[in-house]
Amino acid sequence: MVIADQPLPTDIVDRLLWQDAQQMLGRHAEPDGEGNCVWCGWRWPCAPRRLAERADAASRRPWREAWTVRHDLNSIRAMPGLRAGHDDRRRQAPNRGYFD
């Protein structure tokens, strides 16, 4: 979790992207005993973890690369049950078809 008073590393170009990456890295931190992510249950390293690693790296690069990864982060937030800001990791969206 990012603490508001925590100083940013000096090489950060996109502060918000870096904060989002740190939050996701904290949640998708390690595999459980079966080799699955402790947060989402996907096979380790899970897709959100890999995306957070990309976001962390992109936050230190020119804005064009950060912008692309920011779009990817926003896309994963739109997925039901996989949102980066989702507090209840056990709750999932109902399985519905396109026209339900």
- Which tokens go with 79? 């997925």
C-alpha Rg value of the chain to the nearest Å: 15
Mean pLDDT along residues 3-22: 84
* 28-86 confidence digits (pLDDT tens): 999 999 999 999 999 999 999 999 999 999 999 887 767 677 777 777 766 666 544 44
Length of the chain equals 100
Beta-bridge partners for 36: 43
CB neighbour list of residue 16: distance below 8 Å, 6 or more residues apart: 70
What's the number of CA atoms in the CB half-sphere (13 Å) around residue 41?
6
Instruction: Say what the pTM is.
Output: 0.63
- Provide the pLDDT for residue 89: 47
